[in-house]
Amino acid sequence: MAPRVGVVLFPGSNCELDVLEAVRLLGGEGEILWHGDDALGGVDAVVVPGGFAHGDYLRPGAIARFSPVMGAVTKFAADGGPVVGICNGFQVLTEAGLLPGALQKNRGLKFVCGPAQLRVESDQSVLTSGVKSGTLLEVPINHFEGNYTCSPETLAQLRDEDRIVLRYVRNPNGSMDDIAGITNGGRNVVGLMPHPERATSELLGSTDGLLLLQSLLQAASGRVAA
Amino acid sequence: MTGRVAWRRLSRAAGAGTTSSLDDVTDAAIDPPIHRALGLTDAELDDIRAILGREPNHLELAMYAVMWSEHCSYKSSRLHLKRLPTTGEGVLVGPGENAGVMDVGDGIAAAIRIESHNHPSFIEPYQGAATGVGGILRDIFTMGARPIAVMDPLRFGPLSDARSRWVAEGVVSGISGYGNSVGVPTVGGEVVFDECYQGNPLVNVLCLGVLPTERLVLGAATGIGNLAVLLGSTTGRDGIGGVSVLASAGFDEADEAKRPSVQVGDPFEEKRLIEACLTLLDAGLVVGIQDLGGAGLTCAASETASRGGVGMDFDVAAVPRREKGMAPFEVMTSESQERMLAIVTPEGLDEVLRLCERWEVLATVVGRVTEPPADGQGRLRILDGFDGDVLADVPASSLHDAAPLYDRPRKEPADRAQRLAEQPAAPAATASIEAALLDLLCDTSWVSSQYDHQLFLNTVEGPGGDAVVLRLKHPTTGVDTGRGLALTTDGNHRWCAIDPRQGTAMTVAESVLNLACVGARPIAVVNCLNFGNPEHPEVMWQLSEAIDGMADACRALGLPVIGGNVSLYNESKGIDIDPTPVIGLLGVVDRLERRPPGVGLVAGHRVVLLGDDLQGSAPSLAGSSVAWSSGQKGGTLPPLDLATHSRVAELVRARVSEGRLSGVHDVSAGGLALALGELAVRSGIGVEIAGLPSSAHLFAESPSRVVACVAPDAVEALLAAAAAAGIAAVELGSAGGDRLAIRDTTGAPLVDLLLSDAVTTWRDRLPNALGEGVIQA
């Protein structure tokens, strides 16, 4: 049975259809999870997609964390369910406390859209399990607030516990320690600023995102089997 | 008295909280007459009196003033626009609706429109540009289409001017801030700097949407008893009279006072509005729908009613407001953003309200469709409550169809013959040729990297290339057709200043060649005609000539013009901008199997010029970038032959789609020099060219030419194919190395630059001028 991936839709989200397309391309089943619902309908994995949830009012993710669906996502994550936040989704997951730290405005104070080279730093997460550490990937970035920051203690912990899963080869936004993506202690929740769904076809310029999303579907399949 | 003061006076006359009904006909003859201050002439007031058979009251006067403004009525240009060809294969909707629509096969239609937001963007760059994006998106989803791409042709004053830099930064941030957030990718456009835009920048915006062909809806109200539901934002005092204050007059010293006429955008409101409207359309709940843009509710109510051949009772008291004490004329003419007017059946209303609530979109019944009287002229009645006083009562269609139509005086510039006889010269010394070439190089990624240009996973060729290529997927099923849509926007004020007729034809031709370079065949044109003050006879002559040039080129190339926008009064302190018709061209890639080769070189490959063999006498430099920057603004444009042009475009399109070229770039502004320079700097591969007869050959902007990069063993076949098609061609040299070297027929260098120096100049120009950091407004 194909794994079912739920993609959370807040008012203002805009990458939900792109994530669904990528999931289906890899043989998964994708469905939309409406932000106002407080249940996940038994999906095997959750993606919080990019966009501007609730208009990014106040600050990105600050209102989205109060949407009813986030209670269900938090519980799903606590039960070990695979959860990935992409771009605005990463911001939502930090605001919701599922991942440490925060994303602040890019150092250049400009929106940045374009290709970014990433290095996989750890294969110990639901998004990187199928990619060897050290692998270089080309995946687009597209954000204004992608400059990751956290306390020195948290950074030390992330390093010690091998929880920095992706780093930029050339830092585009001032992100602390070149961080592009991190995971939680359980390694089942990952947040990243780059958009793997945008690197899924030669026509679009890269297929490297498929490697990451394939890992997520693998983790979701594990839930199906379980 | 400025227009803005007039609108304030109307406001005072309306009185705080009081409403003027038809019974207390107001004195329109107070001194100076308020109609004049609102932008209506005495003759236009007489027309209104004749239509109504009485004196208009203030509310009615305000409604006619906005609807009969240049911006809404096209009263100076309509007569001439009729000469454009508007029909052809695949045209589903031509000019006159909110957007043009083409059948692009597989049950998919493409809706496209281009607009200007020039004046607001000079006054308030961030919001002016942002609301321009918002407005064009509404035009597209009004047709039932999901907007999938935005393009922004931008023209600013020179980078050396501080105000122009401020305008440029603000405009780009506004497009980025609104466009990214609203969730529609901005896939390309143009960025041009020239002195003529210093006091009047051009901020044009094009939007493309796709819809299932069967879902096409028009902005018409039908069905007596159906309801008009206002969707989206509350109505405030922002943008009152914007179409007449800002868009239909030039700039003077008092322009800062016009700032309140610029609206403020809210992309999150717009995003929810898009989703709500498309949901309503999917559910079949909408009879007709119309966006609220210029002239606000007055325009939406009267247009839907007159298109449907019906009347409408409009309850102004029901309109949700964001400010207290607004007079009816303020509510009816406000240009508050992010609003739509949907016509729905009474039975469907509950479901409409439910779906809107889900998307957190305010929905309020504000009107009822009424039966037209026996004479067939549906009335638009503005009521204070459906059962309350009648505040205005006019034939709905009179606000559009009865709008004045002017054949304004036209006159060729007095010095035209003298200007045409001039002969601009090209730089001759190697150092000045190199300086001229470096001066032309400008990487626009400073702009495009601030735009999300990849959303929806369609962008195969994005900003910076000759044209944009998007995958064509079915808008509701998501099924990939294996085909693509291609888009380009082009304008050249230098060519059009020299000769508006041929310059416009050359612009259309350039667009066609741009599409050919990405393997696309053109199917439809939209245009944005940016001109000066139509009350200047020379400007009306330019406009009329440009329209004829566009008509000639479109007929010769078999292209229908399916929509357009006319922006007049682009002047500052009495000086008109150079005529700047901007062409938006939509095309189709029949088999999208690979990315187009793009603007670049492959080391070891050969460089071939198609469309020219560099024989014969030195070409004219008239209208070229190099002539312009040295102050030589006269001469006669190099000749354009549209039949030859078609053959060149077809050869290039075929070679690109067959995957036979490793790099390609059309020769346009900047001539062969810039084409070669861009091929080199964009790929980081040097180039060695020999046999140029003169530096004029490097900088002339003769049309119908393309530079191609091909593998050495493919040169012969390419030249043979060109010969077979009757196209001149010549092998120029080879790609590779670390120099940008161009030699003349004797082997002497015309250009010999280190590629790395050229790359640095190209890459750093905009960041150096505009700075790394841009603060959001």
Give me the pLDDT at residue B17, please.
40
**B349-358 and B267-282 helices cross at what angle (nearest 10)?**
140
Q: Tokens 């700075």 map to which residue?
A: B771
Residue range A134-175, pLDDT digits in tens: 999 999 999 999 999 999 999 999 999 999 999 999 999 999
Cα–Cα distance, A54 to B652 (Å, whole number): 47
Cα–Cα distance, A225 to B258 (Å, whole number): 66
CB contact under 8 A, B460 and A109: no
Give me the pLDDT at residue A81, please.
98
Task: Give the residue among B71, B67, B574 at the shortest CA–CA distance from B301.
Answer: B67
**B671-683 and B755-770 helices cross at what angle (nearest 10)?**
90
Average pLDDT over residues B485-496: 98
Task: Give the residue among B293, B359, B276 at the shortest CA–CA distance from B138.
Answer: B293
Chain A contacts of B266, Cβ < 8 Å?
55
Residue B234 DSSP label: -
C-alpha distance from A1 to closest chain B C-alpha (Å): 23
| Residues of B designated as active site | 71, 117
- Three-state SS at B383: strand
Of B183, B460, B773, the CB nearest to A109: B773
Task: Please state, as a whole number, how many other Cβ atoms lie within 10 Å of the Cβ of residue B548.
Answer: 17
Contacts of A91 (CB under 8 A, 6+ apart): A60, A61, A85, A103, A145
Cα–Cα distance, B647 to B731 (Å, whole number): 19
Q: How, if at all, do strands B575-576 and B571-572 pair?
A: antiparallel
Residue range A26-84, pLDDT digits in tens: 999 999 999 999 999 999 999 999 999 999 999 999 999 999 999 999 999 999 999 99
Chain A contacts of B457, Cβ < 8 Å?
18, 21-22, 197-198, 200-201, 204
CB contact under 8 A, A144 and B180: yes
Give me the pLDDT at residue B375, please.
83
Rounded to the nearest 5 degrees, what angle is found at the Cα of B92, between the Cα atoms of B87 and B96? 70
CB contact under 8 A, A14 and B459: no
Residue B484 β-bridge partners = B471, B589
CA-atom Rg of chain B in angstroms:
27
Helix (H) or strand (E) holding B172: helix B162-182
CB contact under 8 A, B595 and A142: no
CB contact under 8 A, B181 and A52: yes
pLDDT bucket at B412, cuts 50 / 70 / 90 = very high
Q: A205 is written with which tokens? A: 């310029």
Give me the pLDDT at residue B222, please.
84
Residue B403 DSSP label: S
Encode B430-463: b = buried (16+ Cβ within 10 Å), e = exposed: beebbebbbebbbbbebbbbbbbbbbbbbbbbbb
Give me the pLDDT at residue B1, please.
39
Cα–Cα distance, A5 to A190 (Å, whole number): 15
Of B177, B592, B774, the CB nearest to A109: B774
Residue B256 has pLDDT above 60, yes or no: no
Give me the pLDDT at residue B245, please.
58
Task: Give the residue among A158, A188, A162, A167 at the shortest CA–CA distance from A79.
Answer: A188
Cα–Cα distance, B6 to B536 (Å, whole number): 25
B181 at A interface, C-beta within 8 A:
yes
Cα–Cα distance, B524 to B509 (Å, whole number): 13
Residue B541 has pLDDT above 70, yes or no: yes
User: Residue B22 burial (CB < 10 Å; 0-12/13-18/19+)?
Assistant: middle
Which own/partner pairs from A155-162 qualify as long-range (CB within 8 Å, at least 24 positions apart)? A157/A100, A158/A100, A158/A182, A161/A185, A162/A121, A162/A122, A162/A124
Q: Kindly report the average pLDDT of chain B as a whole number.
A: 92
Cα–Cα distance, B265 to B255 (Å, whole number): 21
Give me the pLDDT at residue B257, please.
59
Chain B contacts of A17, Cβ < 8 Å?
456, 478
B592 at A interface, C-beta within 8 A:
yes
Q: Is A113 a catalytic residue?
A: no
Least confident span in A174-178, B570-574, B674-678: B570-574
Helix (H) or strand (E) holding B508: helix B500-517
Average pLDDT over residues B470-492: 97
Of all residues in chain B, the percent with pLDDT exceeding 90 is: 86
Of A56, A111, A201, the CB nearest to B176: A111
- Three-state SS at B543: helix
How far is residue A161 from each of residues A85, A127, A151, measured CA to CA in Å? Answer: 20, 16, 15
Residue type present at position B734: S
Of A21, A54, A144, the CB nearest to B478: A21
Residue B283 has pLDDT above 70, yes or no: yes
Of A51, A112, A201, the CB nearest to B449: A112
Chain B contacts of A110, Cβ < 8 Å?
176, 449-450, 772-774
Give me the pLDDT at residue B4, please.
57
Q: Nearest residue of A to residue B772 by CA position?
A: A108
Residues in chain B: 777
Give me the pLDDT at residue B624, please.
98
Residue range B678-724, pLDDT digits in tens: 999 999 999 999 999 999 999 999 999 999 999 999 999 999 999 99
Task: Please state, as a whole number, how many other Cβ atoms lie within 10 Å of the Cβ of residue B297.
Answer: 26
CB contact under 8 A, A17 and B267: no
Chain A contacts of B451, Cβ < 8 Å?
111, 113
Give me the pLDDT at residue B259, please.
56
Of A13, A110, A201, the CB nearest to B450: A110
Q: Give the CA-trace dihedral at A124, A125, A126, A128, to 10 degrees.
A: -70
Task: Give the residue among B461, B566, B445, B586 at the shortest CA–CA distance from B511.
Answer: B586
Task: Give the residue among B625, B726, B724 at the shortest CA–CA distance from B673.
Answer: B625
Give me the pLDDT at residue B71, please.
86
C-alpha distance from A149 to closest chain B C-alpha (Å): 20
Q: Give the CA-trace dihedral at B474, B475, B476, B478, to 10 degrees.
A: 50
Residue B773 has pLDDT above 60, yes or no: no
Residue range B29-67, pLDDT digits in tens: 445 688 888 889 999 999 999 999 999 999 999 999 999
Task: List the domains of chain A with CATH numbers.
Answer: 4-225 (3.40.50.880)
Cα–Cα distance, B483 to B590 (Å, whole number): 5
User: Residue B660 burial (CB < 10 Å; 0-12/13-18/19+)?
Assistant: middle
Residue range B572-621, pLDDT digits in tens: 999 999 999 999 999 999 999 999 999 999 999 999 999 999 998 889 99
CB contact under 8 A, B457 and A204: yes
Residue range A73-112, pLDDT digits in tens: 999 999 999 999 999 999 999 999 999 999 999 999 999 9
User: What number is the ipTM of this complex?
Assistant: 0.96
Q: Is A150 a catalytic residue?
A: no
Determine contact, residues B664/B466, Cβ cutoff 8 Å: yes
Q: DSSP letters along B592-636, please?
A: --S----S---TT-EEEEES----SSPPP-TT-HHHHHTT---S-
Residue B498 has pLDDT above 80, yes or no: yes
Give me the pLDDT at residue B19, please.
44
Give me the pLDDT at residue B294, please.
82
- Determine which one of A87, A121, A143, A145 is catalytic: A87
Cα–Cα distance, A5 to A24 (Å, whole number): 9
Q: For testing the chain B interface, which of A35, A86, A111 should be mutated: the one with the most B CBs within 10 Å?
A: A111
Instruction: Tell which B residues from 261 to 290 touch A, by Cβ distance under 8 Å.
Output: 266-269, 271-272, 275
Q: A3 is written with which tokens? A: 């794994």
Q: Tokens 């106002």 map to which residue?
A: A36
Q: For testing the chain B interface, which of A113, A173, A202 should be mutated: the one with the most B CBs within 10 Å?
A: A113
Q: For testing the chain B interface, which of A7, A9, A10, A14 should be mutated: the one with the most B CBs within 10 Å?
A: A14
